[in-house]
């Protein structure tokens, strides 16, 4: 029996390599895309908007020859996924939000952060396109990573496009009957479980599934995450 291809969209400060521990555990075809400004898609980070991310993901899906997909996004990808879904329509057979940030309609990712975290980001250089330092990375990645896993993640940090955190998010493309699943990371420090539930409510009609992991569950618990994705294929 064939499985629907999986398209993996990374979060902020990372690129498609963050999914490397997960890929060997997936059934069937899968691609981990790079959003614009990193990896396979170099571009000036200062100019990149959420619409550019959506267009880039769609282009990668088309280049891979996928007629339909399961769209899986992590963290900040929750802001670009609605645009991808809007462009691909019914080709997205299922959307999976992994510890995502999904603000209310018209809001931005930065708006959803706790004031203390906003201050930490500003004190570390504000919205300049540079890679996270180790202090912020430790806050974001959580406590369930081993020292080796944390070092692996830090080595793969890349500068982020600042407008992706401040662009308003249009949730209109989510107002469909498309199946959707929310994978809630219970040890998450940057997006706690209760906040994730509110974000899942913004997505609407989500089946919420819990994983006992921190924010980077694809690194700390790749086999368990792969098992949780199988019912969506």
Q: What is the pLDDT of residues 81-118, one digit of tens each?
A: 999 999 999 999 999 999 999 999 999 999 998 787 77
154: helix, strand or coil:
helix
Count the neighbouring beta carbons within 10 Å of the beta carbon of residue 148: 8
pLDDT in tens, 143-200: 799 999 999 999 999 999 999 999 999 999 999 999 999 999 999 988 999 999 999 9
* DSSP classification of residue 230: G
pLDDT value for 154: 93
What pLDDT was estimated at residue 60?
98
Please, is 87 exposed, middle or buried when counting C-beta atoms within 10 Å of its C-beta (0-12, 13-18, 19+)? Answer: middle
Q: Where are the domains of the chain?
A: 6-232
Average per-residue pLDDT in the chain?
93
Q: What percent of the chain has pLDDT over 70?
A: 95
Give pLDDT tens digits for 114-140.
Answer: 787 777 666 765 566 778 888 888 877
Structural contact between residues 205 and 89, judged by C-beta atoms closer than 8 angstroms: no
Tally Cβ neighbours within 10 Å of residue 41.
Answer: 18
Query: What is the distance between the alpha carbons of residues 65 and 63, in angstroms, rounded to a whole number?
Result: 5
Q: How confident is the model at residue 49 (pLDDT cuts 50, 70, 90)?
A: very high
CATH topology of domain 6-232: Rossmann fold (3.40.50)
The pLDDT value recorded for residue 232 is: 87
């Amino acid at each position: 029996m064939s499985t629907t291809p999986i398209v993996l969209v990374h979060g902020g400060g990372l690129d498609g390599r963050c999914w490397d521990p997960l890929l060997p555990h997936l059934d069937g075809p899968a691609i981990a895309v790079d959003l614009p400004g990193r990896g396979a898609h170099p571009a000036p980070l200062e100019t990149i908007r959420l619409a550019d991310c959506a267009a880039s993901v769609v282009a990668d899906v088309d280049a891979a020859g996928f007629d339909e997909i399961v769209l899986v996004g992590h963290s900040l990808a929750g802001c670009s996924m609605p645009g991808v879904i809007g462009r691909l329509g019914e080709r997205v057979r299922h959307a999976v939000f992994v510890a995502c940030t999904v603000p209310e309609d018209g809001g931005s990712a930065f708006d959803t952060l706790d004031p203390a975290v906003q201050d930490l980001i500003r004190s570390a250089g504000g919205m300049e396109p540079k890679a996270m330092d180790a202090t912020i990375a430790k806050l974001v990645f959580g406590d369930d990573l081993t020292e080796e896993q944390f070092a692996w993640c830090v080595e793969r940090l890349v500068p982020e496009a600042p407008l992706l955190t401040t662009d308003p998010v249009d949730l209109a493309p989510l107002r469909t009957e498309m199946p959707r699943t929310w994978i809630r990371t219970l040890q998450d420090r940057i997006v706690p479980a209760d906040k994730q539930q509110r974000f899942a409510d913004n997505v609407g009609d989500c089946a919420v599934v819990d994983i006992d992991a921190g924010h980077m569950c694809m690194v700390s618990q790749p086999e368990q995450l792969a098992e949780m994705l199988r019912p969506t294929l």
